[in-house]
Structure 1
Amino acid sequence: MVAAVVLTIGVVVGMDALARLAAEPDGIPAETATVQVRDGETLSAVASRIAPGAPIGRVVDRIMELNDMPGVSVRAGQTLLAPVSLSG
């Protein structure tokens, strides 16, 4: 029983360490995925949803860079490449 608890704690700590390693030094997740803009969302709202805890302004900038966007305007249903949090 004690071994199972120790093993579980080790797995949880290891997963947390992996999630931290996946973040770039500026706090933006390094992992990317395609995400879809939901009805009524702004680019800032998308950034907040997909990378909780990361600096929203930097995530917005990265989304704009990844998608070669001239501005922050998005529309519902739009697909974007974005940095995503592995734990979020």
Structure 2
Amino acid sequence: MSIHDMPDGMKSEFLAAFRAEFGFGEMTATANDDAAAMLKSAAWAWQASRDAVVVGLPETPNRGIGYGLFDAGKEACREAIEAKGLKVAP
């Protein structure tokens, strides 16, 4: 995966982590073939780590008082998890 294919939030998080570890980012990598290969490899590993995580959410309880709130909260959790580039089990 290229960092250009990442959602904006994930791209920012990845580049910040990469800069913190290696001291350079995307602009420097475009000027140096070795740095560009390193950035591309790190992006691949980052995406592979995200693909490996699948978060399970709890089952919706039997229909009763407050189940609508539970479903709304569950959906908000799903959206927040997916926004970080992780998968949620169906």
Given the two structures, how large is their TM-score scaled by the length of structure 2?
0.35
Relative contact order higher in (CA < 8 Å, ≥ 6 apart): 1
TM-score, structure 1 as length reference: 0.36
Write 1 or 2 for the structure with the bigger share of strand: 1
Give the number of the structure whose alpha-carbon radius of gyration is greater.
2
Higher helix fraction (1 or 2): 2
